[in-house]
Amino acid sequence: PRKIIIDTDPGQDDAIAILLALASPQEIELLGVTAVAGNAPLALTERNARIVCELAGRPDIRVFAGCDGPLSRKLITAEHVHGKTGLDGPPMDDPTMPLQDQHAVAFLIETLRTEPPGTVTLCPVGPLTNIAMAFRDAPDIIPRVQEIVLMGGAYFQVGNITPAAEFNIYVDPEAAQIVFAAGVPITMMPLDVTHKALTTKPRIDAFRNMGTKVGDMVAAWTDFFERFDVEKYGSDGAPLHDPCTIAYLINPDLFAGRHINVEIETTSELTLGMTVADWWRVTDRAPNATFMQDIDADGFYALLADRLARL
């Protein structure tokens, strides 16, 4: 199995990404979960990450708290999407599994230094603050990363937090710039992909029909998460963003994209956090990311239903 670290700000869709990873031990070995501030403040995202591991019956997974805000900006949160706790839906008990003492950034650095080079993949599904901090503090780890598979950005599908920017990149554009300039192979799941992975009613029903605690919870989360987006986008269901990263690791054939240059806007007030994707290769800037643009959505939901039923 491929060794990964999920860097996250749960978030209902983050939670489903973690569950999908834990349901797929043949393909994925989850070395740890690092929490970051994003959808909600850090105290809630680290708590939510532990709740999710416990829900999966995996209180042994190590959860670390990382940065409580962007590198150089004020934190922007998304309670309007995810609710007051960041993981609204059915009421959840506080987790009993411990939070690790080590800072998430220290864990990232230590893990990348101790595991053999090129064997650890990072899956950031929140703002990129923790990853950028680790790269800044310990540049020696950069060439040791196997790949970064992240959820973030948008191009043809435009933004969801401003007209130009996707939330994860917008919250900490300086961090995103550090990560995109690092030279690590990056595969990105932008809104262009996730807005094709909609939580339609039959897909939510498939979760509910599992008749398990995890199935009920995932159905309730996708129901909650949907309310906002359906009104906003007028589509069949809400985009299910973050699990696309994990699905890619399990079955990359579900996705299609192009290896192109992607730069992050960090100065313009109007387009801050935009991922400027050279889709038509009209510049001579070197490709630095595989920008996914298409998904086999039915295949993706079939994978989710099959795997989550195992928990």
| Residues that contact Ca ion, how many (by CB under 5 A) | 6
φ and ψ at residue 78, rounded to 5 degrees: -130, 50
**By the rule CB under 5 A, 154 interacts with Ca ion:** no
- Give the footprint of Ca ion on residues 122-151 (CB under 5 A): 125-126
Q: Which of helix, strand or coil describes residue 4?
A: strand
Tokens coding 286: 């070197």
Tokens coding 111: 């893990």
**By the rule CB under 6 A, 192 interacts with ligand BDR:** no
178 interface partner picked from ligand BDR, Ca ion, none, CB below 5 to 8 A per type? none
CA–chain centroid gap for 169, Å, is 11
* Contacting range for Ca ion; rule: CB under 5 A; set: 201-209, 222-230, 240-248, 278-286: 240-248
Q: How far is the CB of 113 from Ca ion (least distance, A)?
A: 27
Q: How far is the CB of 11 from Ca ion (least distance, A)?
A: 4
**By the rule CB under 6 A, 50 interacts with ligand BDR:** no
Burial letters 251-280, b for 16+ CB under 10 A, else e = eeebbebeebbbbbbbeeeeebbbbbbbbe
DSSP 179-195: HHTS---EEEE-HHHHT
88 interface partner picked from Ca ion, ligand BDR, none, CB below 5 to 8 A per type? none
Residue of the chain from 45, 121, 146, 160 that contacts ligand BDR (CB under 6 A):
160
Residue of the chain from 7, 14, 166, 223 that contacts Ca ion (CB under 5 A):
14
CB atoms within 10 A of CB 209: 13
CA–CA distances in Å: residue 176 to residues 145, 148, 162, 203, 281:
16, 12, 16, 32, 21
**By the rule CB under 6 A, 88 interacts with ligand BDR:** no
* Contacting range for ligand BDR; rule: CB under 6 A; set: 40-48, 112-120, 164-172, 270-278: 164-172
Catalytic residue at 80? no
Q: Catalogue the active-site residues.
A: 241
